[in-house]
């Protein structure tokens, strides 16, 4: 996993490249340096290092520009903390405490840092009260960052890990699904907002 110092250096390189491109948009060396730095931050995300919202928007911008490889369909292994977070006893106690104190709507996504969109699902209480599916998972309803163990695809494949999920309209329902080559990807709320309004950020808490 890249160190925090390495990530800060990558941010500095991106700022330097942006400054050079403002003076000379045709500067090929600055373009290459920026692409390399953005790819470095992409590796930091895949490695589990938390990203702040500026880096998250840089990732969306790089995808829009076609200057970085699209790895949203790639499964990444769970970190130790994520495996702990998905343990049945931990999730059940955490959910009940957050639900009855109102903190369930104040949890921040570790990837895009939006507030109130990072939810846990599949706990014992949700299965009993609302008939939720028996799949313990955490997901962000804004950027689509999900972690899960035993996620079954429409084709019957069982997967576990971190994934960039996407909204799926299915028989009048709006659900989240992990990438499948037979299903057309729909934009996440973060991607749709970014495409329409640029670097607008509705969460400043």
Is residue 139 within 8 A of residue 52, CB to CB? The reply is no
pLDDT values of the chain reduced to their tens digit, one per residue, 205 residues: 446 677 778 788 888 888 888 888 888 888 877 777 776 666 555 444 444 445 677 777 777 776 666 666 667 788 888 888 888 888 888 888 888 888 888 888 888 888 888 898 888 888 888 888 778 889 998 888 888 887 776 556 677 888 888 888 766 667 787 777 677 778 888 888 877 777 666 664 4
Integer angstrom CA distances of residue 180 from 116, 123, 159, 168, 171: 27, 25, 12, 11, 18
């Amino acid at each position: 996993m890249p160190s925090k110092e390495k990530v800060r250096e990558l941010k500095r390189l991106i700022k330097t490249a942006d400054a050079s491109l403002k003076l000379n948009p045709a500067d090929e060396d600055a373009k290459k340096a920026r692409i390399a730095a953005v790819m470095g931050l992409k590796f930091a995300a895949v490695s589990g290092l938390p990203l702040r919202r500026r880096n998250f928007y840089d990732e969306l911008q790089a995808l829009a520009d076609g200057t970085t490889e699209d790895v949203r369909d790639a499964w990444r292994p769970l970190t130790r903390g994520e495996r702990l977070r998905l343990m049945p006893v931990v999730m059940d106690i955490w959910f009940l405490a957050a639900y009855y104190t109102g903190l369930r709507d104040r949890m921040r996504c570790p990837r895009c840092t939006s507030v109130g969109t990072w939810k846990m699902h599949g706990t014992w209480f949700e299965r009993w009260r609302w008939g939720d599916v028996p799949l313990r998972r955490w997901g962000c309803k804004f950027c689509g960052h999900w972690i899960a163990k035993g996620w079954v695809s429409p084709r019957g494949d069982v997967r576990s890990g971190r994934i960039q999920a996407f909204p799926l309209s299915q028989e009048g329902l709006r659900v989240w699904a992990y990438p499948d080559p037979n299903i057309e990807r729909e934009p996440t709320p973060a991607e749709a907002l970014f495409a329409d309004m640029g670097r607008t950020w509705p969460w400043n808490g």
